[in-house]
Amino acid sequence: MVTLRRKNIFLCIGLCIVAFIAVVSWRWGVGQAAQGSPTMHGRGPLNALVTVTFYGDPSSRLSMEAYVEMKRLAETFPLDLRIEYRHNVPGFRFGGIRRSQELECASRFGAFWRYLDLSMRSLDSAWPSSGAVAQKLLLPVDTYTACITDPDVAASIARDTQDARARGIADLPAVLLNGKRFTGPLSSSALQRAVTDAIALQQTSTYVPRIGAVDLWERQAEGLVPVIVDVRSKQRYHDGQINDAIPAPELAGSPDSDTVLRVMKPWLTAPLVVIITEPEKPRYELFTRLRSLGVSFVRFDDMEAARKIQGFTL
């Protein structure tokens, strides 16, 4: 009898310890999440050329329709685009506050984007209770519903909303491209054009290194002769001052992955590939596919400077 009583005591103590650890762990996780790591609300590579910041409210139809366009952008530009969501809830929208609290709590269980997908699918139906939402998202009902009333959750939403106000954003939804307000229509065509232009600008100015004629000539003099591929169109391919350049006009337009792989396969492991291109037409499609193949490349489009270098032949 005494032995059985001791076992019961030890069992009760063990259960209490387990319960205490579980509660502390959950509170610690919520506290850590409240610090607002941007990766919780982001989709896409952290080093993307373009970051789209999307200010929305999951209870707003316009926000959810814009979210559909955000998903299309992420699918269209998987390597170069990052989508970051920010709360923007006007004080008079009680339903928006509640839904944003649910969304913020969903992020703490790794279900942020699943919650938005659920909101998108439920535009024309009554929104369920928080417990039912947890069940739909396969989340623990008790901890999820308790999270919604956590003051840190409201504080996170307030910080995002205050940030929107500081940027002069009062309407829903709102989109920033690399920190600048996008004022065009939130349609697929308009957004894709804007993102393509932003990516091209980044590639031309910062991302894709450009090599000048002198640098190229010095590399030759030092015996560091790279692979040189001329991807200009047939109409523009008329000069021969770079004798060893490999003409590849089939890469001048919008090449598909198979074409790029077929043309570039012999030089995929080269330490450097020089791409001769037309300066006014950054080759977004080509650059993206070269990067996906792991090719190290630079741009060369300074043909006039090349002509001025005496004896410039490769």
Q: What b/e sequence results for 144-182 when a residue is b if at least 16 CB atoms lie within 10 Å of its CB, and e otherwise?
A: bbebbebebbbebbeebbeebeebebeebbbbbbbeeeb
- How much of the chain, in percent, has pLDDT values that exceed 90? 28
Q: Report the relative pairing of strands 273-276 and 227-230 from DSSP bridges.
A: parallel
Q: How many CA atoms lie within 13 A of 231 on its CB side?
A: 31
CA-nearest of 237, 241, 240 to 251 is 237
Q: Which residue has the tokens 């409201």?
A: 154
pLDDT, residue 35, reads: 36
Element (H, E) at 84: strand 81-87
Question: 271 or 107: which carries more pLDDT confidence?
Answer: 107
Q: How many CA atoms lie within 13 A of 175 on its CB side?
A: 26
pLDDT above 70 (res 5): no
Q: Which residues pair with 227 in a beta bridge?
A: 273
Residue 171 DSSP SS3: coil
Q: What b/e sequence results for 222-250 when a residue is b if at least 16 CB atoms lie within 10 Å of its CB, and e otherwise?
A: eeeebbbbbbbeeebbeeeebeebbebee
Domains and CATH numbers, the chain: 38-203 (3.40.30.10), 208-308 (3.40.250.10)
Distance CA 165, CA 40 (A): 22
pLDDT above 70 (res 286): yes
Q: What is the CA radius of gyration of the chain?
A: 28
Phi, psi of 144 (to 5 degrees): -65, -50
Strand ranges in 207-283 using DSSP code E only, listed in sequence order: 227-230, 246-247, 273-276
Distance CA 115, CA 40 (A): 13
At 193-219, the pLDDT tens digits run 888 888 877 765 545 566 777 677 766
Distance CA 111, CA 69 (A): 20
Q: What's the Cα-to-Cα distance from 210 to each of 245, 256, 263, 279, rounded to whole Å?
A: 17, 23, 22, 10
pLDDT above 50 (res 34): no
Instruction: Say if CB 230 and CB 237 are below 8 A apart.
Output: yes
Q: Which residue has the tokens 């070269």?
A: 290
Distance CA 300, CA 280 (A): 12
Count other Cβ atoms within 10 Å, centred on residue 203: 19
Binned at pLDDT 50, 70 and 90, residue 281 comes out as low
pLDDT above 80 (res 158): yes
pLDDT, residue 103, reads: 95
Strand ranges in 163-245 using DSSP code E only, listed in sequence order: 174-177, 180-181, 227-230
Q: Tokens at residue 227, please?
A: 């692979």
Binned at pLDDT 50, 70 and 90, residue 93 comes out as low
Q: How many CA atoms lie within 13 A of 118 on its CB side?
A: 20
At 300-314, the pLDDT tens digits run 776 666 666 545 444
CA-nearest of 270, 284, 275, 279 to 304 is 279
Q: Report the relative pairing of strands 273-276 and 297-300 from DSSP bridges.
A: parallel
pTM, entire model: 0.56
Element (H, E) at 31: helix 2-33
